């Protein structure tokens, strides 16, 4: 199972303050839109997303089909295949990808400690 790029999606109270804080660690803005209350920041291969008002908890995010620079990988495990494998192992989902579709899709689940995990495929 290839999960693709990994990042932490952090819910923040003050986007500008959080951006300034993580810049002290060497993170630089890689994407997003501050006016729309979200930024993606990178330091080497480490990626964090800062989101104000988008969700209630921090989320671990995997992006099948992407490397850490959001470039499409030549081969990857489709999000629906990951979902099928996890289902076969008894994992319970909060939301599911439509297995009748192709291309971009996502699912969300929660680990035993309440941590949210988003598997979000942006490529076909």
Q: Which of 73, 71, 93, 72 is nearest to 82 (CA)?
A: 93
* The CATH number of domain 5-121, selected from 3.30.9.30, 3.10.180.10, 3.40.1160.10, 3.40.190.10: 3.10.180.10
Q: Where are the domains of the chain?
A: 5-121
Taking the whole predicted model, whether its pTM rises above 0.75 is answered as yes
pLDDT in tens, the chain (124 residues): 899 999 999 999 999 999 999 999 999 999 999 999 999 999 999 999 999 999 889 999 999 999 988 899 999 999 999 999 999 999 999 999 999 999 999 999 999 989 999 999 999 8
As a residue count, the chain comes to: 124
Q: What was the pLDDT predicted at 124?
A: 87
**CB-facing half-sphere around the CA of 53: CA atoms within 13 A:** 6
């Amino acid at each position: 199972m290839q999960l693709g790029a990994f990042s932490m999606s952090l819910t923040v109270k003050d986007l500008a303050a959080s951006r300034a804080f993580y810049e002290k660690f060497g993170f630089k803005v890689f994407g997003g839109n501050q006016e729309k209350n979200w930024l993606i920041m990178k330091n080497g291969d480490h990626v964090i997303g800062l989101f104000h008002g988008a969700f209630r908890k921090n989320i671990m995010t995997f992006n099948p089909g992407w490397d850490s620079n959001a470039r499409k990988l030549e081969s990857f495990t489709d999000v629906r295949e990951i979902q099928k494998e996890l289902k076969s192992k008894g994992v319970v989902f909060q939301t599911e990808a439509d297995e009748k579709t192709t291309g971009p899709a996502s699912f969300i689940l929660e680990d035993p400690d309440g941590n949210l995990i988003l598997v979000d495929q942006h490529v076909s």
